[in-house]
Chains A and B, each alone.
Chain A
Amino acid sequence: MSQWLNEVIESASATSDFLAPFRKQALSSLEQAGWPGRRNEAWRFTPLTSLEKREVKHVQQAASAQPPSIEGLSAFELVFVDGKLATDTSQLATPEGVTIASFDQLDDTQKQAASEVFGQIKPARHIFGLVNDIASTQGIFIDVADGVQMDQVIRVANLVTQDVDAHTRILVRVGKGASAKIFEHAEGTVASMSTAFSEYAIAEKGHLEHYRFAMMTGQAKQIGGTHFQLGDESTLNSTVVGYGSELSRLDVDIIHAGEHADAKMNAVYLLAEGELFDLHSNIEHTVPNGTTEENARGIVGDRARAVFNGRIHIHRDAQNTLAELNNRNLLLSRRGIINTKPELEIYADDVKCAHGATVAEIDEEALFYLLTRGVNRSKALVMLNFGFIQELVNKMPDAAIRQWLLPKLNDRFAQMEVK
């Protein structure tokens, strides 16, 4: 056990909302789980030593903060500041059939619906998921009723402005044949510790366009998860953007619970000097006829470390599955580190499954080509490396988010040195 975890458990034990029975259960799992050390495979490359001795910090003085504005983005904006929901969700003019409400504003039916998602999709034993279970008193429930098509994006920003422990949760139901766009956006640089987990239940023929931008940097520690459960013929298109920080970890689970579901995920990470980012991806095909295509690409700067764990698990009954996972990495420095690990577990015999992982330095042939056109070497390197991730960013469906993101990534990249 760590001092930090003990304190989290202590300060969470007083909670008594509608999720209390679930939290209690999580607490007992947590007490049995124990603190993951370096010998724990899931945390082998991501040391938690800096967190172990942390003292839990509560908000001393409420701060206000606004998420970066995104030109042309039509969105419902929800903001957590230092772990507290700063938006009065009762004031949101949501369209008919759409619920966006904080945990403390749910009616009994909504509480029931939220309970059916809480803790049901994310893996049961993820220690920080359990921490979030017991401590996430601040949360949002989003429900898009059957057949409702939401054009507007729902952006949930998670901002950290002071040294605090913040635990936030998002629970989402996308109804039958409904569609939604949800954007989880985290930013902050100050020393702090956040856990942010979200669970999405997508019903039959439902569609979710999803973004998770884990853009906390510096000393802002962030550990989170995004977990999707796909119903029959549902579709998911998700984009993950990761910056590194002192400690940054994201777990993504895509669970095919219904047949003929289609999941696409693109992830890009861009790690500046000394940063750490760990992306654990888990794709579960439990039923037949599902398709998943995932591409993760990262650029790792000087003395930075990227960890990518890509697991594909095709269960015995999941015949006719098509699953592809590709991870490509680019090292800008010999002192950067990339730990990429494929994990294929295939128990069905009629499946197509591909997994590729590469770590490369600069493509010399492409560089030579650019140079022969008179492009200066430093600029050519920027174009080549950035092109590598831009290719995925260009596939993001929302033009406004894309156009906001590209120059941000470009600036970040321009400050990274090739050594």
Chain B
Amino acid sequence: MLKINNLHASVEDKSIIHGLEMEVKPGEVHAIMGPNGAGKSTLGYVLSGRDGYEVTEGSVELDGADLLDMEVEERAQAGLFLAFQYPVEIPGVSNMEFMKESVNAIREHQGKEPLSAAEFLKKAKAAAKQVQLPLDFLKRGVNEGFSGGEKKRNEIMQMILIEPRVAILDESDSGLDVDALQVVADGVNSQRDGERSFIVVTHYQRLLDYIKPDFVHILADGKIVKSGDASLAHEVEKSGYSFLGKKYEEAEA
């Protein structure tokens, strides 16, 4: 479904990702762990097409199509979703209007009829309820005045509404207490249907107790240095990233 071949990317001429390989098949959950500065967030931005994140080599295919050749919105319409580590506040644009526009743009791309206001409202209410966001959050400006945890839940709510092919969760666990973590994880797990794939980017093993990965990859220095099953995450939890060499021991202290 998502194939990343020999990906090299740089930000402001600084090479961050060099030679990343990864293949995500339908229904799989891949966790990407790694020390700070390994390029974890960069990967999400590169895949979603953020300005300033330049791919210098390699290719990425989504369902056989060249992802890197698409505009940001086209990637989303093709089924890629990025849950931000730091969701942006946009006062004045209501969450509801935003999501309706989003869902209908994606439906249009899929050749489906747009949802009516009533149909959409019903879905939005259900999604808000699922992530335990009060309904008035739908009417508020996008992330406007939301707490850190509310922003993360709002990301998951958007994912539920958008129904992507592949969702990248960029540190969706950071700054969450256990209850909020459970809500986020439940939201994600509810969307696992054997078809939809996930790339869970996280610094800590904790989230992976709630969202069970099929594969765990360690990202360091812009490439995957080690892959394994869920037990790899536990190994990291126990002994940190020391196996990566001295360079990372300090960062993890």
Q: Which residues of A contact B (CB under 8 A)?
A: 363-366, 368-377, 379-380, 383-384, 386-391, 394
Contact = CB atoms under 8 A, between A and B. Distances in A.
A241 to B, nearest CB: 16
B102 A365 contact: no
Given A371-B71, A371-B73, A383 B88 contact: no
B68 to A, nearest CB: 15
B46 interface: no
A5 B24 CA distance: 76
A372 B76 contact: yes
Nearest to B86: A365
Nearest to B82: A372
Given A368-B88, A375-B105, A383-B98, 8 more contacts: A369-B90, A370-B98, A372-B76, A375-B98, A375-B102, A377-B73, A387-B92, A390-B92
A114 B141 CA distance: 45
Contacts of A394: 92
A388 B92 CA distance: 6
A379 B103 CA distance: 13
Contacts of B141: 387, 391
B133 interface: no
A374 B88 contact: no
Nearest to B159: A373
A383 B101 contact: yes
A122 B146 CA distance: 43
A366 B90 contact: yes
Given A371-B73, A375-B105, A383 B91 contact: no
A373 B77 CA distance: 8
Contacts, number: 78
Interface in B86-145: 87-88, 90-93, 97-99, 101-102, 105-106, 109, 141-142
Interface residues of B, number: 31
A391 B97 CA distance: 14
Contacts of A365: 88
Contacts of B13: none
Contacts of B102: 370, 373-375
B92 A386 contact: yes
Contacts of B72: 368, 371-372
Contacts of A370: 90, 93, 98, 102
Contacts of B85: none
In order of increasing CB-CB distance, the 6 nearest A-B pairs are: A387-B92, A391-B92, A374-B76, A387-B93, A371-B72, A373-B102
Nearest to A374: B76
A380 B84 CA distance: 18
Nearest to A380: B73
Contacts of B76: 371-374
A52 B141 CA distance: 46
A375 B73 contact: yes
A375 B99 CA distance: 9
Contacts of A386: 92-93
Contact of B84 (A364, A369, A383, A390): A369
Contacts of B101: 375, 379, 383
Max chain A C-beta neighbours (<10 A), residue from B75, B92, B99, B141: B92
B93 A384 contact: yes
B48 interface: yes
